[in-house]
Each structure stands twice: as C-alpha cells, then as structure tokens.
Amino acid sequence: MKMTFRWFGPDDPVTLAYIRQIPGMYGIVSAIYDVPVGETWPLAKITELRDTVHAAGLALDVIESVPVHEDIKLGKPSRDALIANYAQTLRHLGAAGIKVVCYNFMPVFDWMRTTLEKRLPDGSTTLAFDVDTVANINPDDGIQLPGWDTSYDAGQLRALLAEYASCDEARLWENLEYFLQRIIPVAEEAGIRMAIHPDDPPRPIFGLPRIVKNREDLERVLAIVDSPANALTLCSGSLGADTANDVAAMVREFTARGRIPFAHMRNVKVNDKGDFHETAHRSADGSLDMAAIMQAYSDADYTGYIRPDHGRMIWGETGKPGYGLYDRALGAVYLNGLWEGIRRAKGVA
C-alpha cells in the first residue's frame, strides 16, 4: 500500500515540505490546474509538476483529475475532438511516468455539499450535506452551494441544465461507453490505468442523472471495456454516503479482481434520511468501519495508492475546506497505523 496526499500546486498553502514530514508518506496526487477543460495538457507542464514533486522527495504516480468535458458527457458533436485531446493528454502523462488517472463522469459538478463549515461538538468544522436544503432549491432561481461549478453564470447554468433535460441515465451510460471504448485502448498503450470516481453524493440531484452510485454501477463500468486499464477510484466516503453500500465488501470484490489502483479513505456520519457530514477518519467517529475497510485491502495484499480524503478544519487552520493539512495528516497516520497493526497481526510486513 502506498500512502499519498492531495496537493493543489505551488499556490497550495499545504506545501510539499509539510507533506514530506507526514510519517509513511509515499507520494503526491495532483493535476495541472491552469489548462482549460477539454484542451490537451502540454508535456512540459506535466514534467515540470513531476520534477517539482520529485525534488521534494515524493513520487507523482497518480493524477487527480483529468476532467471530462461536459460535451463528452452530453454526447455532443464536439466530443470526438475533445476525446482526441483527452487521449493526447494520456499519452503525455504516460510519457512522464504517470500510472493512474482519476476522473469522474458526474454531470456539471464533481461533488456537492450544502455547507462547508458544519460545526461539530469538538469545535472543528466540516463539510456536510442536507437533503431538505437541496430539495427546496429551484435551479431556475440559481444554485449557490459548495461543489457547484461557479465558473458558470446563472444563464449558462440554466442552459446547461436544459441540455441535460434530454440526457437521462440511459443516455449518460451510452456516452460513458462511447468515451471509454475510445480512451481505454489509448490508456493501455500509455501504461495508464483510468480509475473512475463514484458520484458524490451517490444520488440524483436537481434531476441530473447519476450512474456511478453502487456496486452494480461499478460492475457495469468495468464491463464496458474488460481491461485492467478500466478501473476504479474506490472512495469510501462517496459510496458510504448511501448506507445500502457495503464498502468493505466492494473492496474485497474489486481488489480480488485487480481493479482498484487508487482509493480515497474518508469517513462520514449518515442518518436515515440521507443527511451526512464528514468526520475524522476514525471508525468511532463516523458511520463507516474504516478498520474493516483497511482489513479488506490488507487481505488482498493491496499494493495500490491510498490517500486520506477530506478532513475537518481543526486547530484554527484556514484555507480550502476539507483540504487542510492537520486533519488529513492525522488521517494518514491513522490509516498507516491500522495497516501496520493488521499486517503485523497476519505476520507480514
């Protein structure tokens, strides 16, 4: 198992030097953030990022994310040119030694929360999602929630939602199949594993289709192109926001098949209505048994990449909510501690 940490580039207040000091840290998960979605990432920018990370004593094996343009998700005529650009980005990433690319196929937004600063009893703040808040929003009046892409103004957002009105789950599945059938052969040639991230949260919102929500959806994605290059980013927090999902069982199944090169470890506290908030990584703090999930990875002798996902904001830290240094560092150490204890109990290193 290789422990990694998300880094948002030179402007990130969480520096590579800080990350390097976290015990057991193998590498960085990052991306190119100044190239518009749909354009090819220049090889020079990728190698510059790689060399910066390597100079800090860390590996750069995983890219998160290479965004998929909305025109590809919608199946518009422009998708072929955009897919060609995506393919060239993969070739450049492969040439730079990248091994895994995390991506998602969520319409319009990558994730959504209703607040970034839910205050917990211990005084920390965290990301949270409230079902009723979302249900009471009329998208025609504008949407102002964390996770919604603020690069769209109100008019653009209305137009985009109107386009998705004719794109149901069946159509979105067709468009994902079209994308993967063209991209996975390129990924194979480039030595890259494409690892799709589940929907976050794993349910329809504002009538937009969501197709990567549960075990059956994950299985369907992998069946589109039966190749090790067509794989999963197994996110415990995204899938765990639906209490019907047995995350540890999914880990056991899909690691046994060699289809999880990258994992997000995040704990969430979920109620019966579907409201949830993110917690410290400990099993005792959330609804997920993180020890059981790590046990499942250990039983598979997992050699892929794991990163502590969103953390609380603690000890007065400010910055990008969910991505402070302190609680994610605690999460990394906790996960490494679980791993070491489980491996020692089995008599393996």
Region 102-109: mean pLDDT is 93
- Whether the per-residue pLDDT at 146 is higher than 80: the answer is no
How many percent of the chain have pLDDT more than 70? 98
Beta bridge partners of 232: 196
H or E element at residue 48: helix 43-55
Residue pLDDT, tens place only, 283-325 = 999 999 999 999 999 999 999 999 999 999 999 999 999 999 9
* pLDDT for res 159: 85
CA neighbor of 211 nearest in space, from 171, 161, 256, 151: 171
- Whether the per-residue pLDDT at 196 is higher than 90: the answer is yes
The DSSP 8-state label assigned to residue 198 in this structure reads P
Q: 226 lies in which domain range? A: 2-108+168-346
pTM for this one?
0.95
CATH assignment at residue 245: 3.20.20.150
The reply to whether 205 falls in a domain is yes
Q: How confident is the model at residue 160 (pLDDT cuts 50, 70, 90)?
A: confident
Q: Is the CB of residue 348 less than 8 Å from the CB of residue 341?
A: no
- Burial (CB count within 10 angstroms: exposed 0-12, middle 13-18, buried 19+), residue 333: middle
H or E element at residue 202: none
Instruction: Tell me the C-alpha distance between 311 and 2, whole Å.
Output: 19
The reply to whether 161 falls in a domain is no
Residue pLDDT, tens place only, 261-285 = 999 999 999 999 999 999 999 999 9
Q: How far is CA 278 from CA 146, 153, 242, 270, in A?
A: 14, 29, 13, 9
The residue behind tokens 């020692």 is 344
Please give the structure tokens belonging to residue 312: 């609380």
- Whether the per-residue pLDDT at 150 is higher than 70: the answer is no
The reply to whether 127 falls in a domain is no
The residue behind tokens 């955009």 is 82
Q: In the β-sheet with 125-129, what is the strand arrangement from edge to edge?
A: 115-119, 125-129, 276-278, 268-270
The DSSP 8-state label assigned to residue 264 in this structure reads E
Q: Is the CB of residue 61 less than 8 Å from the CB of residue 100?
A: yes
DSSP string, 111-177: ---SEEEEEPTTS-EEEEE-HHHHHT--GGG----TTS-TTS-HHHHHHHHHHHTT--HHHHHHHHH
Task: Please tell me which residue, 109 or 168, carries the higher pLDDT value.
Answer: 168
Letter string b/e over residues 216-251, b meaning 16 or more CB atoms within 10 A of that residue's CB: ebbeebbebbebebbbbbbbbbbbbbbeebebbebb
How many structural domains compose the chain? 1
Q: Is the CB of residue 88 less than 8 Å from the CB of residue 140?
A: no
The reply to whether 85 falls in a domain is yes
The reply to whether 98 falls in a domain is yes
- Whether the per-residue pLDDT at 32 is higher than 90: the answer is yes
The reply to whether 118 falls in a domain is no
Residue pLDDT, tens place only, 53-100 = 999 999 999 999 999 999 999 999 999 999 999 999 999 999 999 999
Please give the structure tokens belonging to residue 99: 């091994």
- Whether the per-residue pLDDT at 349 is higher than 90: the answer is no
* pLDDT for res 275: 97
The reply to whether 295 falls in a domain is yes
Catalytic residues: 197, 235, 264, 309-310, 323
Task: Please tell me which residue, 208 or 154, carries the higher pLDDT value.
Answer: 208
The DSSP 8-state label assigned to residue 283 in this structure reads G
Q: Is the CB of residue 152 less than 8 Å from the CB of residue 109?
A: no
- Whether the per-residue pLDDT at 15 is higher than 70: the answer is yes
The reply to whether 125 falls in a domain is no
Region 100-121: mean pLDDT is 93
Task: Please tell me which residue, 93 or 151, carries the higher pLDDT value.
Answer: 93
Region 10-25: mean pLDDT is 97
Instruction: Tell me the C-alpha distance between 267 and 53, whole Å.
Output: 28
Q: Among 93-102, 203-212, 213-222, 323-332, where is mean pLDDT lowest?
A: 203-212
